[in-house]
Amino acid sequence: MSSDLIFHQLFEKESSTYTYLIGDPKTGEAIIIDPVLEMVERDYKLIEELDLKLKYILETHVHADHITGSGELRKKTGAKIAINESYQLSCPDIGLVDGQELKFGNINITAFSTPGHTNGCMTYKIDEMIFTGDVLLIRGCGRTDFQDGSSENLFASVREKLFNLSDNVLVYPAHDYNGLTHSSIGMEKKFNPRLNLSVNKAEFQKIMSELKLANPQKIEIAVPANLQCGLV
Ligand SMILES: [Fe+2]
């Protein structure tokens, strides 16, 4: 993590979701990535305490396991909501495309399209950190069996895009279920059981097809709510 940034990794217990509040200390402009509805008051209080001006609310994807806090946070702060334009949602302010750049203060964000967990998943890069949503998790990856997920696309997103970044780039995912906070491209290339460099595409697709996971408990509520920025 760069010492030139205000950086808070925030956690929501029920869905084990990480939210990231990142600010430019020189200008006070800030962004938040993947806020959770139930934690909006906590996040807003922190933004106020740090005297930050929230400029963007970035979603890595339309979540199925929790309701986003993006709409509520926009009401409180006036920040603009950004998500991949491919979802064709009407509530966000900005529809992002692959390679698009945004700026807060003097800090650049690059949005990379990394489909696979959902078709509209994006990874955000700031300095030598990437925020991978559910595409690349610590020693794992998101499921690929709903919301137009595709194990073939996820394999390509990770192996051909993310793993082309330098080994010391830090990986900050949207979830961790084991208490880990971050990883690096170099570590995931070696230690990710599904996606390390010795696993080929056919093997990865077999692993994903055999997971047979139950649907997330909140999917019936969360996805429709998240199509409207959580404003239901
Ligand atoms: Fe997800």
Mind listing the pLDDT tens digit for each residue in 176-209?
999 999 999 999 999 999 999 999 999 999 999 9
Cα 103 to chain centroid distance, Å, stands at 17
Query: Residue 232 pLDDT > 90, yes or no?
Result: no
Query: Residue 101 pLDDT > 60, yes or no?
Result: yes
* 174 alpha carbon – ligand 1 mean position (Å): 8
* Cβ-Cβ contacts under 8 Å for 42 (sequence gap 6 or more): 10
* 66 alpha carbon – ligand 1 mean position (Å): 9
Query: What band does 3 get if pLDDT is binned at 50, 70 and 90?
Result: low
Q: What is the pLDDT of residues 10-56, one digit of tens each?
A: 999 999 999 999 999 999 999 999 999 999 999 999 999 999 999 99
* 8 alpha carbon – ligand 1 mean position (Å): 21
Handedness of CA 177, 41, 64, 158 (dihedral sign): negative
Residue 88: phi and psi, rounded to 5, are 55, 50
In this prediction, what percent of the chain has a pLDDT beyond 70? 99
* 55 alpha carbon – ligand 1 mean position (Å): 23
pLDDT at 74: 98
* 158 alpha carbon – ligand 1 mean position (Å): 16
φ/ψ bin of 2: left (φ > 0), alpha (ψ from -120 to 50), beta (otherwise): beta
* 219 alpha carbon – ligand 1 mean position (Å): 10
Residue 131: phi and psi, rounded to 5, are -110, 105
100: Cα within 13 Å, side-chain hemisphere:
15
* 150 alpha carbon – ligand 1 mean position (Å): 13
**What tokens does 200 get?**
């080929």
Query: Residue 1 pLDDT > 80, yes or no?
Result: no
| pTM score of the predicted model | 0.97
* 74 alpha carbon – ligand 1 mean position (Å): 21
* 203 alpha carbon – ligand 1 mean position (Å): 22
* 30 alpha carbon – ligand 1 mean position (Å): 23
* 91 alpha carbon – ligand 1 mean position (Å): 19
Describe the crossing of helices 70-77 and 40-49 by its angle, rounded to 10 degrees: 30
* 13 alpha carbon – ligand 1 mean position (Å): 15
Query: What band does 2 get if pLDDT is binned at 50, 70 and 90?
Result: low
pLDDT at 219: 94
pLDDT at 77: 98
* 134 alpha carbon – ligand 1 mean position (Å): 5
Q: What is the pLDDT of residues 144-157, one digit of tens each?
A: 999 899 999 999 99
Average pLDDT, the chain: 97
DSSP 150: -
* 112 alpha carbon – ligand 1 mean position (Å): 16
Query: Residue 63 pLDDT > 80, yes or no?
Result: yes
pLDDT at 105: 97
